[in-house]
A and B are shown apart, each in its own frame.
Chain A
Amino acid sequence: MLILECPYCGVKAEETELHAGGEAHLKRFGPGSSDDDFHDYLFMRENPKGVHFERWRHINGCGKWFHAARCTMTLEVFGTYSAQTYEPPQDIRDAISAKRPDWSWREFK
């Protein structure tokens, strides 16, 4: 059972109260971009065994989107943070580094 704390309403919500929104921090390549960039934006996703960043929506609650950093192998949650950001905040990165010193995910480490 995955339990995430919604950063907007502070509720410790379990998985069934949430809706998964896929990989976090995607950069959109829309009209005018190259075919390769558009292809990668549409189809290329991380599939890590370990640290992962995801978007979640507190759908049966306050209805807000947020980000979560967790481990896909142990279901350990490193933290949740606001959706209004392009990259994981420093405190989340520090929390991950404390437990997984060698972690990296896409361009973040």
Chain B
Amino acid sequence: MSDPVSALNGAAFSGMASVTEGGLAGMITLRGDLSSAKLKDAVKSATGAAMPVSGKVELSEDGGLCWMSPDELLVLVRYEEVEAKLAEINAGLKGEHALAANVSDARAVFRVSGEGAREVLAKLCPVDMSVDAFVPGQFRRTRMAQVAAAFWLDHDETFHIVCFRSVADYVFTLLSTAAQPQSEVGVY
């Protein structure tokens, strides 16, 4: 087997915020009835994270659950474990009307951190990025300039961005341009 590589191989940029490509990340898209006890148990045992409420992410030591829509979750796991976790979830969902698929290689992830991080995202997304409005643990699917993207904020003021792998280069260029030094708007 060839070695898997992430979209941009860990590309990084440093300006008013630092932008880093996040490398390989295991992701499973899960569609189903999020209120079902069987589904909750399956994702809990796979990731160790609790079921997130609308618009939130629940993170555990090496995984997490993102609320994508009323009937969709994004399950975050380690890249090496994704096939095993997928099998585990599928086993847990036996008899349930649900679908889980490994989408790890269809996605790219970025981290944006530093003082200007909120401003970088505010330049690109139609989202209120003020400290009161966008709090740690919040998850938001939106648009980043011309492409779809999703991101959450962790407790260290780092934004984790998920986008399609095919637009990884575009998103990296967007983020680096928005993070150019001396391009602060000074809103946040």
B140 with A60: CB separation less than 8 A: no
Interface residue? A13 (CB, 8 A): yes
Q: A60-B148, A61-B141, A61-B142 are in contact. Are A13 and B70 (CB under 8 A)?
A: no
Question: Considering the complex, which residues of chain B in the window 115-156 have a beta carbon less than 8 Å from any beta carbon of chain A?
Answer: 126, 128, 140-143, 148
User: How far, in Å, is A17 (CB) from chain B's closest CB?
Assistant: 6
User: How far, in Å, is B37 (CB) from chain A's closest CB?
Assistant: 22
Chain A interface helix/strand/loop/mixed = loop
Cα separation A61 to B54 with both chains bound (whole Å): 12
Residues on B with C-beta less than 8 A from A12 are 128
Cα separation A64 to B70 with both chains bound (whole Å): 9
Residues on B with C-beta less than 8 A from A64 are 69-70
Cα separation A14 to B126 with both chains bound (whole Å): 7
Cα separation A11 to B54 with both chains bound (whole Å): 10
Cα separation A63 to B29 with both chains bound (whole Å): 14
Cα separation A13 to B141 with both chains bound (whole Å): 10
Cα separation A13 to B142 with both chains bound (whole Å): 9
- B128 to chain A: closest residue by CB: A12
B69 with A60: CB separation less than 8 A: no
The 0/1 profile, CB within 8 Å of B marked 1, for residues 69-106 of chain A is 00000000000000000000000000000000000000
List 10 A-B pairs, Cβ < 8 Å: A8-B70, A9-B54, A9-B55, A10-B55, A12-B128, A13-B126, A17-B143, A60-B141, A60-B142, A64-B70
Given A9-B141, A16-B143, 20 additional A-B pairs, CB 8 A: A8-B69, A8-B70, A9-B54, A10-B54, A11-B55, A12-B128, A13-B126, A13-B142, A16-B126, A17-B142, A17-B143, A60-B141, A60-B142, A60-B143, A61-B69, A61-B142, A62-B68, A62-B72, A62-B141, A63-B69
